Amino acid sequence: MPLKTHLDEQPALNMTPMIDIVFLLIIFFMVGTRFSDLERKLDLKVPEVTDHGALTAAPERRIINVYRDGRIELDQQYVSIDALRDRLASARSQYAELGVLVRGDGLGPYQNVAAVLSACKQAGIRDLNLSVQIKPPDR
């Protein structure tokens, strides 16, 4: 069995990359401080406003279901065609870019869906979508 006659060197920690990063951070903060000083020296007074909180998020798209027997459901409540038009017009007055998704029964008369689309148009809805289901390919 061979014996070791010399000692292995202890691994050394290379400090060069860490020193480089520290110098880069110092330079970054020095340059950033200069820009903020320059901005404060501008002869400009910006307007002041009060903080009333964040703006409200846009409402989600309203969902209208048109059933085979002609019933109309808006947001899980049954409504008449006139009530649908009134509710959509009221919601659109609060948010002009209101979107609507119409889901009609595929076996029901298309006249029911056409009446709902007409009511949406009368309420001023521009973002109007129809829901369909993709038929799987025949094999």
Residue closest to 115 by CA, chosen among 102, 132, 129, 124: 102
Distance from C-alpha of 67 to C-alpha of 42, rounded to nearest angstrom? 64
pLDDT along the chain (139 residues), means of 10: 71 88 91 64 64 64 90 91 92 87 88 92 89 77
Pairing assessment for the beta strands 72-74 and 62-66 based on DSSP bridges: antiparallel
Distance from C-alpha of 68 to C-alpha of 91, rounded to nearest angstrom? 26
> How much is the pLDDT for 44?
60
> How much is the pLDDT for 54?
47
Distance from C-alpha of 113 to C-alpha of 102, rounded to nearest angstrom? 8
Give the 3-state secondary structure of residue 29. Answer: helix
Give the 3-state secondary structure of residue 102. Answer: strand
Helix (H) or strand (E) holding 62: strand 62-66
Q: Which CATH class name applies to 62-130?
A: alpha beta
> How much is the pLDDT for 108?
85
Burial class (CB in 10 A: 0-12, 13-18, 19+), 1: exposed
> How much is the pLDDT for 52?
60
> How much is the pLDDT for 114?
92
The model's pLDDT over 48-81, given as tens digits with 9 standing for 90+, comes to: 767 665 466 667 888 999 998 989 999 889 999 9
